[in-house]
């Protein structure tokens, strides 16, 4: 097992025991679960970050919209400044609402509601966004949010998760055994074969989750209107920055150097000064960063970076390798829910 913080390893069993007790309390009904009027499809992971939940939510929103559903996204807004439950507009302040909610609002084309209490966010969405279509809530990062009843649990699993340890020693928020509770487990194409065996060993055959395989694609630039700098300087504040650099390298686009910030970092003028200084030292002629970082660059901050050269945004997208079969499975699950509610 990968231990990121070895000194905290003795606390990992205590964390695991607390998770088990909490799970049992919800199963026995001693802790309350609130249920929304419309079906809730949760997209989550067993890890604290970096599994790729946001691109997955965006893909599902697109697929369900094309099938005629009215989609609403519910999200927490990790490390946001605000404490209210509200709808997020595409060009709202990312520091106020959180980087992922703003990114979801910009790219999904569906209403996005942010709130620490996802049930209240869902109630607000149902009150404010009535529709004659069947409404489906997509719960972003919902696997650990047991206070809101989920109707379909989709969980992303990576090879890094399998080698990781429970918090606080590692980054796992759930033991791998929790995957037995999932309806769907999503694997990356390049990791699918060994991880299928891992998932198969965690659940009984008659209750095994469906397995979906995704292909991830990184595209550079915003619609092609930004010229790619020949000597870029990369920066990001995401959970797994090494994945970003690997995908850039796979595109044949290797930065001159890179600066890594903490996950969900809020950029300020001091950060721009350090980025510009480092970029000049390596004679870079532009920058490349992730979408999640780009939404936090105010026009003033972005203008500062562009004194060196263009800022290229790397967009991560996912697609299902067996889209029709996977979508049919999901529609069948949602359809059963719809009939049950009538």
Report domain extents, the chain.
6-215+330-341, 228-309
pLDDT tens string, the chain, 342 residues long: the values are: 566 788 888 888 899 999 989 988 888 888 889 999 999 999 999 998 889 999 999 999 999 999 999 999 999 988 898 999 999 999 899 999 999 999 999 999 999 999 999 999 999 999 999 999 999 999 999 998 889 999 999 999 999 999 999 999 999 999 999 999 999 999 999 999 999 999 998 877 668 899 999 999 999 876 555 678 999 999 999 999 999 999 999 888 999 999 999 999 999 999 999 999 999 999 999 999 999 999 999 999 999 999 999 999 999 999 999 989 999 999 888 875 554 443
Predicted TM-score (pTM) of the model is 0.93
Six token digits for residue 203: 């659940």
Domain spanning 6-215+330-341 has what CATH number? 3.40.50
| Dihedral sign, Cα of residue 33, residue 36, residue 42, residue 48 | negative
Six token digits for residue 224: 């092609």
Name residue, tokens 């263009």.
Answer: 310
> What is each CA distance from 31 to 19, 98, 158, 179, in whole angstroms?
13, 28, 30, 21
Contact between 266 and 98 (Cβ < 8 Å): no
Q: Which long-range contacts (CB under 8 A, 24 or more apart) does 174-178 make?
A: 174/19, 174/46, 174/143, 174/144, 175/16, 175/19, 175/46, 176/46, 176/202, 177/202, 178/19, 178/23, 178/46, 178/143
> What is each CA distance from 167 to 3, 4, 170, 174, 320, in whole angstroms?
9, 9, 5, 8, 30
Residues linked to residue 319 through DSSP beta bridges, in sequence order: 215
Contact between 237 and 266 (Cβ < 8 Å): no
């Amino acid at each position: 097992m990968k231990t990121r913080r070895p000194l905290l390893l003795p606390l990992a069993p205590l964390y695991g025991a607390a998770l088990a007790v909490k799970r049992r309390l919800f199963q026995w009904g001693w802790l309350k679960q609130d249920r929304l009027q419309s079906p809730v499809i949760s997209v989550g992971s067993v890890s604290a970050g970096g599994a790729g939940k946001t691109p997955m939510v965006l893909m599902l929103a697109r697929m369900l919209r094309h099938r005629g559903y009215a989609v609403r996204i519910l999200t927490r807004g990790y490390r946001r400044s605000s404490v209210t439950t509200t709808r997020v507009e595409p060009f709202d302040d990312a520091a106020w609402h959180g980087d992922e909610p703003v990114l979801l609002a910009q790219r999904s084309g569906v209403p996005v509601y942010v709130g620490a209490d996802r049930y209240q966010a869902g109630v607000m969405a149902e009150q404010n966004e009535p529709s004659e279509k069947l409404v489906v809530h997509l719960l972003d990062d919902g696997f650990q949010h047991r206070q809101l009843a989920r109707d379909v649990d989709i969980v992303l699993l990576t090879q890094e998760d399998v080698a990781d340890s429970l918090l606080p020693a590692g980054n796992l928020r759930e033991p791998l055994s929790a995957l037995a509770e999932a309806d769907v487990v999503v694997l990356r194409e390049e990791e699918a074969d060994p991880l299928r065996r891992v998932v198969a060993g965690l659940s009984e055959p008659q209750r095994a989750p469906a397995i979906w395989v995704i292909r991830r694609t990184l595209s550079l630039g915003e619609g092609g209107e930004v010229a790619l700098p020949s000597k870029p300087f990369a920066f990001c504040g995401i959970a797994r920055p090494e994945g970003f650099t690997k995908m850039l390298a796979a595109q044949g686009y290797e930065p001159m150097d890179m600066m890594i910030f903490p996950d969900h970092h809020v950029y300020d003028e001091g950060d721009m000064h350090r980025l510009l200084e480092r970029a000049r030292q390596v004679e870079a002629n532009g920058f490349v960063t992730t979408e999640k970082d780009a939404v936090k660059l105010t026009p003033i901050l972005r203008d500062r970076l562009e004194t060196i050269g263009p800022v290229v945004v790397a967009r991560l997208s996912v697609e299902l390798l067996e889209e029709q079969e996977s979508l049919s499975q999901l529609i069948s699950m949602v359809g059963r829910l719809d009939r049950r509610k009538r």
